[in-house]
Amino acid sequence: MRTAGRQPPQRTWSTLAITSKTGIPSTVSRPCENCTRLIRSLREWPYRGRVGREDGTRELLFPPLPYIAVYRVEEQSIEVLRIYHAAQARP
């Protein structure tokens, strides 16, 4: 999705997403390094996640881990809204 001469969108984290991220158990911290790498990759491929449940959002999966990052793509930024456990009740 890179266009010549355009900077990739900047990634930001909502306060709720940061709280969600810190709530991931330490037993999954090593596999979650892959989660962080995948979220960083959104700068280059912002539409790599599936269309989200809520309008205007997308969801990035982290197989085999049961976590889902919900994010929004804006013209100049990508905002990670929240990270859910797959078993968690969601809107």
- Given a cut of 70, whether residue 88 has pLDDT beyond it is yes
Which carries the bigger pLDDT value, residue 12 or residue 85? Answer: 85
6: left (phi over 0), alpha (psi -120 to 50) or beta: beta
Least confident of 17-21, 61-65, 74-78: 17-21
Distance CA 74, CA 24 (A): 27
Predicted confidence (pLDDT) at residue 53 exceeds the cutoff of 90: yes
Name the residue with higher pLDDT: 40 or 33.
Answer: 40
Class of the domain covering 10-85: alpha beta
Q: β-strands 77-85, 67-73: how paired?
A: antiparallel
Contact 49, 71 (CB under 8 A): yes
In the sheet with 10-13, reading across from the earlier edge strand, the strands are 10-13, 77-85, 67-73, 58-61, 50-51
Domain coordinates of the chain in residue numbers?
A: 10-85
pLDDT at 22 over 80: no
